[in-house]
Amino acid sequence: MKIHFTLIFSLFVTLFFAQNQEFIYEYQFVSDSTNKKDISKEIMILNVDTDKSLYYSLDKYVSDSTMNQEIKKHSFAMPRPFNINEIIFKDLKNKTISFETKVGDSRYHIEQNVDLKWNLLNEFDEILNYKVQKATTEFGGRTWNAWFAKDIPIQNGPYKFQGLPGLILKIEDKTGSHKFTLKGIKSMQNPFEYPYRKDESNLKKLDYETYIKTYLQYRADPVAHLIVRIPDQTDAQGNFKTGEQILREGRKMMLEKLSKDNNIIEIEILKKSRKSKKK
């Protein structure tokens, strides 16, 4: 009788989590490795159904939803600020990952080969009343410690992490620079559809290597795409500036900002760039 009950309960849990679920994570990250006390936070959403999942920033979702409504009304509102621009797609059947992101003023869709090799450890804890087990992996130039729950039979997690025998409830890199923690679970009535911005619908598809080159070129000169597009101007105080002057000032400001964004989650991208410069 006990075995029969256990089988029924396991089947119920599997069926419950096979339906549309929304997992809410808090993402804490340090953008500037020289200022580790400056910790940013963003609420991230992982929507999972039977064959795919979608991961995105809640603030970006609200911003895109609002902008769509404004476009329909032929009006304008300032977009809500958000830190995380990427939207990450996982094909759960084929175990493939792709993402959409913005570089400069262009949006791209990129497929990425993410092959995580997990090492399961004999260490256990409890998160949100779920028993969790520890696992480690290497990804993006970082060592990651994850805690997953077998009682949530979904081989998924925040960001690009997946492949463990249960949902990842918490994961952080060894340096403590990037940390994802599950804060809540919500059942959805219908399959989730992201409210794509109508003014950003023309995506350019890139292979991963071309995307990396594009991204690093942007970091080297973040205003290159604006050359010859900025006219000479006179400001409200009557000060005249050539388009070249405006670009030069903009480049300096953007480079200073990017220099403080030196601790990105897939840090190996920047490490490769530094190595190539030394050659």
Q: Which domains does the chain have, with CATH numbers?
A: 2-187 (2.50.20)
| pLDDT, position 201 | 57
CB 123 within 8 A of CB 131: no
Reduce the DSSP state of residue 99 to 3 states and report it.
Answer: strand
- How far apart are alpha carbons 9 and 216 in whole angstroms? 50
Two tokens, residue 270: 């920047």
Summary mean pLDDT of the chain: 85
| pLDDT, position 67 | 72
Please name the residues in contact with 143: beta carbons below 8 A apart, sequence gap of 6 or more. Answer: 136, 137, 173, 174
- How far apart are alpha carbons 270 and 137 in whole angstroms? 20
Distances (CA, A) of 259 to 32, 192, 221, 244: 8, 37, 12, 22
| pLDDT, position 91 | 93
Residues in the chain predicted with pLDDT less than 50, given as ranges, are: 1-16
Strand ranges for 93-203 from DSSP E: 96-103, 106-112, 119-127, 130-139, 142-149, 167-173, 178-187
| pLDDT, position 62 | 87
Cross-strand pairs, 108 = 101, 204
pTM score above 0.75: yes
Backbone angles phi, psi at 210, to 5 degrees: -65, -40
Q: Angle CA(99)–CA(33)–CA(37) in degrees, nearest 5?
A: 110
| pLDDT, position 111 | 96
Which residue shows structure tokens 């409830």?
A: 169
- How far apart are alpha carbons 157 and 180 in whole angstroms? 9
The total of other beta-carbon atoms located within 10 Å of residue 99's CB is 21
* pLDDT > 90 fraction of the chain, expressed in percent and rounded: 61
**Closest CA relative to residue 263, chosen from 36, 41, 108:** 36
| pLDDT, position 275 | 56
- How far apart are alpha carbons 90 and 118 in whole angstroms? 18
Q: Could you say which DSSP state residue 224 is in?
A: G
Render pLDDT for 107-159 as a digit per residue (tens, 0 to 9): 999 999 999 999 999 999 999 999 999 999 999 999 999 999 999 999 999 99
Q: What is the largest CA-CA distance in the chain?
A: 86
Distances (CA, A) of 269 to 14, 22, 27, 150, 247: 38, 30, 20, 33, 26
**Closest CA relative to residue 97, chosen from 36, 140, 130:** 140
| pLDDT, position 274 | 64
